[in-house]
Amino acid sequence: MTLEISNLDVSIGNIPILRDVSLSVPSGKMFGLIGHNGAGKTTLMRAIMGLLDADQGTITFDGQDLRKTADFARAKAGISYMPEDRRLIPSLTVEENILLPAWTNGIKDAEERLKWVYDLLPEIAQFRDRRALQLSGGQQKLVSLGRALMPGRNLLLLDEPFEGVAPVLSRRLSEVISDLGSSGLCVLISESDDTHSADLVAGSYRIERGTVSKAGLETA
């Protein structure tokens, strides 16, 4: 199962944001997507998730054309996204937030997935009945990761997971992401530099002003 992006162009309104982006993330590998603020990392992840339309190019996962895949089918294919800004629903409990993608996308083994998420992140199991608005920013990051893991059994896109996170929690996030890497998931992690992702990934792509540099690919 490989994520393959070829010659992708994406505009927001009339403004071209991504130009001729090509990259590949093979099954069971974690790759970094490194670029400064405004380079286009979020735009690329949103395009993979179908939240933005592409002008041209191809995005496939395991041979499936993601440009023609509906949201629920994407979730059923095990593809998921952890947005940079968490986007939890403040009035819902932690558990309701985590279960939401399973409910909206009709994921059948939600109970087993939830148990797996709690095993991986026992700290969020502790406050499963608390409303999201009662959590610290760092705790919300972990819940956001837990929610992404509900559908995300094959491909996980992590948009700046370490941004704004205190050092202790960064170490914990690194541990969890590293555990995920050994479970066969295909993971793309964006970061403004490779401070946290360098030890986790098999290689990195560099994105600058909407262009991914193949020369920037370093394979560990």
Edge-to-edge strand list for the sheet holding 56-61: 15-25, 3-12, 56-61, 64-65
Number of residues that bind ligand ATP (CB under 6 A): 12
Is the distance from CB of 181 to CB of 155 less than 8 angstroms? no
Among 14, 15, 108, 119, binds ligand ATP (CB under 6 A): 15
- E strand or H helix at 9: strand 3-12
Which residues in 148-187 contact ligand ATP (CB under 6 A)? 160
DSSP code of residue 53: -
**C-beta of 29 vs 41, nearer to ligand ATP:** 41
Min CB(164)–ligand ATP separation in Å: 11
Distances (CA, A) of 163 to 27, 58, 193, 211, 213: 26, 29, 11, 22, 23
CA dist 46 and 52 (Å) reads 6
Pick the closer one to ligand ATP by CB: 13 or 122.
Answer: 13
Q: Which is nearer to ligand ATP, 11 or 27 (CB)?
A: 11
Closest CA to 200 of 175, 170, 167: 175
Q: Which residue's structure tokens are 């406050």?
A: 127
Range in contact with ligand ATP (rule: CB under 6 A) among 12-20, 75-83, 100-108, 141-149: 12-20
Question: Nearest CA to 149 among 175, 130, 108, 121?
Answer: 121
Q: How far is the CB of 14 from ligand ATP (least distance, A)?
A: 10
Q: Which residues on adjacent β-strands are paired with residue 5?
A: 23, 59
Whole-number minimum distance, CB 38 to ligand ATP, in Å? 4
Q: Which 19-78 positions form the footprint of ligand ATP (CB under 6 A)?
A: 35, 37-43
Should residue 16 be labelled a site residue for ligand ATP when binding is judged by CB under 6 A? no
Minimum Å gap between C-beta 184 and ligand ATP is 27
User: CB of 160: closest distance to ligand ATP in angstroms?
Assistant: 6
Residues that bind ligand ATP (CB under 6 A): 12, 15, 17, 35, 37-43, 160
